[in-house]
């Protein structure tokens, strides 16, 4: 059930959209005026902190390393220089604070994913980062930092895509001029990389529109793999293509640097069958945007430009008006324009969902270095929060509050789970649902491993505990194919208004 959005689409003016699409939903809030680094890569961890990093060898950032910290040798245009600035930070959502982290290798345009125990694994990059991996284990005392391992990958992985799989490992697909995939961490039978001719077949020699391929684990255990303008269903264990899909209509490319974007729509684990859906025409032309699955199953489309392609200063006409796509609405009434931002989010911007239902938005650096003057679109170091309409105070009486289980509870597969919650307003139990969201690794207009599961609930499974107290009994996913092992944010949703989420670990 994969939704693909590309950059070459029929332009529809807002005047042709239904009245429901009038602009104005949601609002923006400035969190920090300077976080020190441009947010090229972002990952939310299960301690409600966000790891952010960019690249290293293109000059200093705007945040210094601590005085007692080692500096790194960086390769400038004609010489080696000593760089004592940080190129990664950890942002604490609760305190709205951040601290510098030390990364030494060239993480430019790399990839990553979280492990079942909640650590972040970053893979690849450029130059000394080609075959390097970095591991960041979350901690509560502010002492954790990056640990890097050179020559950990079988091949160079620059502009690659990672996906978590049922056994907890990652599979890394592609990279620039790399037509293979490999598993990480290594096991004896998978120490080498495995050729994948489809990646070579879809490479445009002039534009290389097969970078950062769109990868999703299908419900049958195979991989939906999209590069350039083609898609296949791929059996990654046998290394064979089991299905070829038609070339996308018009034949225009979607992957970097054309930089369309893709998301897997919410999966109802209680549904008798899952039917693929093809997205209708976008309301306006957009590239380099980000897609964020919201707790209620809607899709936020945010950031990007309206002209040209990704890659330094090549994008123009910033798109500052986010869209909400409501998959359950009738066709041609699914998009709603939201409140516009005052900040252009161009090349190398990112957006991720937080546990409180906000969307963290940062980044934008179409310049090779950090440039704040004498350029058309300066490097942006702001940290903003986009608050979807469901967080408006008028919906406070509808907002559930989860009482139990406690956050960071561990749940198993195929089990009954009782979720106790309160709602201030009198409710119709038909409109209650429970969702689980997997926080993704986000970079370059693609959120790797983003996944939303709608658990069973509704009529007959919700009981009143008296007053404003309720209990809903849900079934957890029955297999590791549906819910990959690791940490998820669990929400109770009433009439599209989500609760504050809690962390659950499924293994």
Tell me the two tokens of residue 270: 């209680």
Point out the least confidently predicted range of 331-335, 363-367, 469-473.
331-335
Q: Which residues pair with 353 in a beta bridge?
A: 359
Return the CATH number of 2-391, one of 2.130.10.80, 3.40.630.10, 3.40.50.20, 3.40.50.2300.
2.130.10.80
Long-range Cβ contacts of 270-279 (<8 Å, 24+ apart): 270/454, 270/455, 270/456, 270/475, 274/1, 274/219, 275/1, 276/1, 276/2, 277/1, 277/3, 277/327, 278/3, 279/3, 279/4, 279/5
Instruction: Give the model's pLDDT for residue 19.
Output: 32
* Residue 448 main-chain phi, psi, to 5 deg: -75, 130
Q: Can you point out the beta strands (E) in 286-445?
A: 290-293, 299-302, 305-308, 315-318, 323-325, 335-337, 349-353, 359-363, 383-387, 401-404, 409-411, 416-422, 432-438, 441-443
Q: Quick check: do 2-391 and 393-506 share a fold?
A: no
pLDDT score of 458 more than 80: no
Instruction: Give the model's pLDDT for residue 290.
Output: 95
pLDDT score of 345 more than 70: yes
3-state secondary structure of 434: strand
Banded pLDDT at 6 (limits 50, 70, 90): very low
Radius of gyration of the chain (CA): 22
Q: Which residues pair with 233 in a beta bridge?
A: 224, 243
Architecture of domain 393-506: Sandwich (2.60)
Q: Can you point out the beta strands (E) in 13-125?
A: 27-32, 41-44, 49-53, 72-75, 80-83, 88-92, 97-101, 111-114, 120-123
381: nearest Cα among 26, 40, 64, 27: 40
DSSP state of 265: P
Instruction: Give the model's pLDDT for residue 422.
Output: 97
What is the bridge-based pairing of β-strands 486-494 and 441-443?
unpaired
DSSP state of 72: E
Contact 302, 289 (CB under 8 A): yes
pLDDT score of 15 more than 60: no
- Residue 426 CB-density burial (10 A; 0-12 exposed, 13-18 middle, 19+ buried): exposed
Instruction: Give the model's pLDDT for residue 284.
Output: 80
* Residue 389 main-chain phi, psi, to 5 deg: -55, -30
Contact 363, 352 (CB under 8 A): no
pLDDT in tens, 109-120: 999 999 999 999
pLDDT in tens, 64-93: 998 877 888 876 666 778 899 999 999 999
State how far the Cα of 390 lies from the Cα of 396, in Å rounded to an integer: 9
Residue extents of the structural domains in the chain: 2-391, 393-506
State how far the Cα of 65 lies from the Cα of 71, in Å rounded to an integer: 8
State how far the Cα of 356 lies from the Cα of 320, in Å rounded to an integer: 23
With vertex at residue 310, the alpha carbon angle to CA 305 and CA 316, rounded to the nearest 5 degrees, is: 35
pLDDT score of 13 more than 60: no
Q: Which residues pair with 27 in a beta bridge?
A: 387
> Cβ of 398: how many Cβ atoms within 10 Å?
18
Higher pLDDT, 317 or 302: 302
Look-up of token digits 């697909």: 173
121: nearest Cα among 224, 41, 217: 41
3-state secondary structure of 326: coil
State how far the Cα of 67 lies from the Cα of 120, in Å rounded to an integer: 26
């Amino acid at each position: 059930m994969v939704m693909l959005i590309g950059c070459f689409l029929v332009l529809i003016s807002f005047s042709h959209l239904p009245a429901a699409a009038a602009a104005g939903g949601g609002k923006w809030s400035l969190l920090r005026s300077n976080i020190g680094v441009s947010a090229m890569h972002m990952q939310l961890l299960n301690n409600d902190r966000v790891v952010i990093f960019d690249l290293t060898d293109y000059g200093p950032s705007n945040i210094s390393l601590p005085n007692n910290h080692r500096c790194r040798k960086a390769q400038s245009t004609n010489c080696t220089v000593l760089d004592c600035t940080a190129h990664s930070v950890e942002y604490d959502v609760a305190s709205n604070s951040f601290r510098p982290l030390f990364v030494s290798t060239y993480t430019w345009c790399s990839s990553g994913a979280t492990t079942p125990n909640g650590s972040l694994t970053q893979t690849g990059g450029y130059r000394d980062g080609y075959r390097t991996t970095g591991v960041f284990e979350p901690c509560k005392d502010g002492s954790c930092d990056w640990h890097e391992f050179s020559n950990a990958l079988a091949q160079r992985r620059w502009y690659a895509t990672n996906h978590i799989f049922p056994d907890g490992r990652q599979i890394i697909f592609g990279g620039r001029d790399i037509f293979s995939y490999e598993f990480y961490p290594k096991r004896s039978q998978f120490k080498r990389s495995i050729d994948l001719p489809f990646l070579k077949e879809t490479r445009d020699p002039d534009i290389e529109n097969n970078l950062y391929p769109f990868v999703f684990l299908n419900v049958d255990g195979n991989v939906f793999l999209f590069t350039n303008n083609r898609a296949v269903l791929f059996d990654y264990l046998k290394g064979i293509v089991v299905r070829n899909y038609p070339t996308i209509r018009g034949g225009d490319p979607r992957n970097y640097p054309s930089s369309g974007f893709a998301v897997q729509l919410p999966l109802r684990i209680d549904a008798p069958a899952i039917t693929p859906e093809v997205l209708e025409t976008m309301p306006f032309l957009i590239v380099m945007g980000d897609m964020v699955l919201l707790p209620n199953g809607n899709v936020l489309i945010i950031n990007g430009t309206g002209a040209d392609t990704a890659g330094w200063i090549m994008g123009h006409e910033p798109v500052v008006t986010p869209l909400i796509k409501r998959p359950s609405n009738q066709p041609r009434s699914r998009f709603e324009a939201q409140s516009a931002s005052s900040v252009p989010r161009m090349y190398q911007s990112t957006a991720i969902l937080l546990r409180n239902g906000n969307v963290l938005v940062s980044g934008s650096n179409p310049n090779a270095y950090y440039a704040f003057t004498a350029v058309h679109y300066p490097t942006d170091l702001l940290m903003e929060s986009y608050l979807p309409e469901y967080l408006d105070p008028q919906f406070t009486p509808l907002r559930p509050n989860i009482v139990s289980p406690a956050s960071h509870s561990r749940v198993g597969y195929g089990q009954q789970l009782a979720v106790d919650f309160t709602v201030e307003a009198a409710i119709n139990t038909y409109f209650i649902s429970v969702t689980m969201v997997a926080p993704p690794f986000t970079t370059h207009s693609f959120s790797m491993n983003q996944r939303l599961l709608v658990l069973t609930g509704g009529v007959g499974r919700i009981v009143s505990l008296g007053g404003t107290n309720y209990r809903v009994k849900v079934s957890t996913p029955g297999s590791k194919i549906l819910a990959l092992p690791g940490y998820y944010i669990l929400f109770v949703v009433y009439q599209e208004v989500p609760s504050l989420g809690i962390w659950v670990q499924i293994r």
